């Protein structure tokens, strides 16, 4: 049988298939099931900087509605509330570490390098094997340039890497004006891995009700192509590992991302759709493909079709349909 062992962020994984951060990795029971189904590692659900901040603000409002609140009390409330949120999260890390042997990667969703960053060392002390920084700065602030926005990513990474020794990865979006160079610059920081790309809540429109609604929460199969292209382009061009995520629904999708140059893959939607035990099917499919193709280890084929190694590098940059598709005929 093929050897699927993989090193990611300096951690030894028995295979490159990781359960991505989601509610499924927010409880120990499912984490145990994921390990039993063969997951190489788990990324815990994120602790949200914004959420903590929002709840703290709400609590402050409630408090200010009452008479005789001293400013010091408000300061205390800030700390007490934040501790409550974080204590639950630290407990999750500890319990997950006690329950499973696979690497447990903690995750923080962050939008600034302020206040919360002390948490990183608490997360390290709780036993997390690594920390994934789930960062998303939507470039909608018209007073901020792309340089300003990118600086936030670097500030967060610099701040966190000065607080912990565990490896750090950055899970990012594709909202950069110079995506390739920006990803490379991020890889030159102290991150050990880039996770390409996060999937976010996306608004939609209900045309009957004529109102804004929630978009699809789970990814669809065609969502793989964005990350596949960029994994292939960035492989061998970054100074760190690459974890591919979004739209990876089958073992065959995993093979594609590894051929493109991913170190590991992270899956969520397919586990929501098919149950956490589906993890074992994904891994079996990857293993069967390797056996079938005669690859003994993942390193034997990883990055074989990365842009820099490919015999057809232009294929990864083709953007226009042009004449290649002129033979396409219309369906009736």
Ligand X SMILES: Cc1cc2nc3c(=O)[nH]c(=O)nc-3n(C[C@H](O)[C@H](O)[C@H](O)COP(=O)(O)O)c2cc1C
Give phi and psi for 244, each to the nearest 5: -95, 140
Q: Pick the stretch among 54-62, 72-80, 206-214, 266-274 that binds ligand X (CB under 6 A).
A: 266-274
Q: Quote the CA–CA distance of 219 and 199 in Å, as a whole number.
A: 8
Beta carbon nearer to ligand X, 6 or 21: 21
Q: Pick the stretch among 1-9, 61-69, 92-100, 218-226 that binds ligand X (CB under 6 A).
A: 218-226
H/E stretch holding 43: strand 41-43
> How many Cα atoms occupy the beta-carbon half-sphere of 323 within 13 Å?
0
Rule CB under 6 A: is residue 171 a binding residue for ligand X? yes
Rule CB under 6 A: is residue 266 a binding residue for ligand X? yes
Peptide bond into 89 cis (omega under 30): no
> How many Cα atoms occupy the beta-carbon half-sphere of 279 within 13 Å?
27
Minimum distance from CB of 27 to ligand X (Å)? 13
Minimum distance from CB of 45 to ligand X (Å)? 4
Q: Pick the stretch among 182-190, 206-214, 239-247, 280-288 that binds ligand X (CB under 6 A).
A: 239-247
According to DSSP, the residues that pair with 38 across neighbouring strands are none
Rule CB under 6 A: is residue 219 a binding residue for ligand X? yes
Beta carbon nearer to ligand X, 28 or 218: 218
Rule CB under 6 A: is residue 247 a binding residue for ligand X? yes
According to DSSP, the residues that pair with 194 across neighbouring strands are 170, 242
Q: Quote the CA–CA distance of 273 and 312 in Å, as a whole number.
A: 35
Beta carbon nearer to ligand X, 224 or 232: 224
Minimum distance from CB of 228 to ligand X (Å)? 12
Size of the site for ligand X (CB under 6 A): 26
Burial class of 39 by CB neighbour count within 10 A (0 to 12, 13 to 18, 19+): buried
Rule CB under 6 A: is residue 111 a binding residue for ligand X? no
91 CB-near residues (< 8 Å, 6+ apart): none
Rule CB under 6 A: is residue 107 a binding residue for ligand X? yes
b/e per residue, 178-205, with b = 16+ CB within 10 A?
A: ebeebbbbbbebebbbbbbbbbeeeeee
Nearest by Cα to 276 from 44, 101, 19: 19
Rule CB under 6 A: is residue 246 a binding residue for ligand X? yes
Rule CB under 6 A: is residue 96 a binding residue for ligand X? no
Rule CB under 6 A: is residue 267 a binding residue for ligand X? yes
Minimum distance from CB of 12 to ligand X (Å)? 22
Q: Which residues of this chain interact with ligand X, rule CB under 6 A? A: 20-23, 45-46, 107, 109, 134, 171, 198-199, 217-219, 223, 245-248, 266-270, 272
């Amino acid at each position: 049988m093929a050897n699927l062992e993989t090193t990611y962020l300096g951690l030894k994984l028995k295979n490159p298939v990781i359960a991505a951060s989601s509610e499924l990795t927010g409880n120990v029971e499912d984490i145990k099931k994921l390990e039993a189904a063969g997951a190489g590692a788990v990324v815990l659900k994120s602790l949200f900087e914004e959420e903590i901040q929002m709840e703290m603000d709400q609590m402050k409002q409630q408090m200010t509605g009452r008479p005789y609140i001293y400013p010091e009390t408000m300061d205390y409330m800030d700390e007490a509330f934040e501790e409550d949120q974080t204590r639950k999260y630290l407990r999750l890390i500890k319990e997950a570490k006690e329950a499973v042997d696979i690497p447990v990667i903690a995750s923080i969703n962050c939008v600034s390098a302020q206040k919360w960053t002390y948490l990183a060392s608490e997360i390290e002390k709780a036993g997390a094997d690594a920390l994934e920084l789930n960062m998303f700065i939507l470039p909608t602030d018209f007073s901020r340039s792309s340089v300003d926005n990118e600086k936030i990513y670097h500030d967060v990474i610099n701040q966190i890497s000065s607080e912990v020794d565990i490896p750090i990865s950055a899970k990012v979006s594709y909202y950069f004006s110079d995506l390739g160079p920006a990803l490379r610059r991020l890889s030159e920081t102290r991150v050990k891995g880039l996770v390409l790309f996060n999937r976010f809540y996306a608004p939609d429109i209900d045309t009957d009700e004529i109102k804004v609604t929630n978009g699809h929460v789970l990814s669809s199969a065609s969502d793989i192509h964005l990350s596949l292209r960029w994994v292939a382009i960035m492989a061998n061009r970054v100074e760190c590992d690459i974890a591919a995520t979004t739209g990876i629904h089958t073992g065959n999708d995993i093979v594609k991302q590894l051929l493109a140059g991913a170190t590991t893959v992270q899956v969520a939607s397919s586990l929501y759709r098919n149950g956490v035990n589906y993890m074992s099917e994904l891994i079996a499919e990857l293993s069967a493909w390797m056996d079938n193709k005669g690859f003994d280890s993942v390193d034997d084929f990883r990055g074989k079709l990365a842009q820099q190694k490919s015999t057809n590098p232009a294929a990864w940059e083709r953007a226009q349909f042009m004449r290649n598709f002129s033979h396409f005929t219309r369906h009736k």
